[in-house]
Amino acid sequence: GDSVTQMEGPVTLSEEAFLTINCTYTATGYPSLFWYVQYPGEGLQLLLKATKADDKGSNKGFEATYRKETTSFHLEKGSVQVSDSAVYFCATGGATNKLIFGTGTLLAVQP
């Protein structure tokens, strides 16, 4: 079945460092791909998405490119801030209407 694998956390960075959180997926067909973010004590919020191969999703300085050849959707940001500290979830919308989430990666940014 469809699945998502993302890198284990926690990821600890200093402010203004470069961020990469890896995500790979297995799915039938051509799924949409998502990154959601969960701030402490809150629900998940959509950060960005891509609906077809080679699409780049971007929001708030974060980017991810849908790579069909490597079945990946890695999240990147050039310069992280303390306010980016949160849990990041990669997800795929597969053959059904359900979203399949990864296990989440905790990002801690230190000033």
Which of 2/17 has CB closer to other proteins? 2
Q: C-beta of 2: minimal distance to other proteins in Å?
A: 9
The residues binding other proteins (CB under 8 A) are 29, 31-32, 34, 36, 41-46, 49, 51, 89, 92-99, 101, 103-104
Dump the DSSP string for 41-107: TS-EEEEEEE-STT-EEEETTEEEE-BTTTTB--EEESS--GGG-EEEEEEEE-SSS-EEE---EEE
Which of 81/98 has CB closer to other proteins? 98
Which of 2/76 has CB closer to other proteins? 2
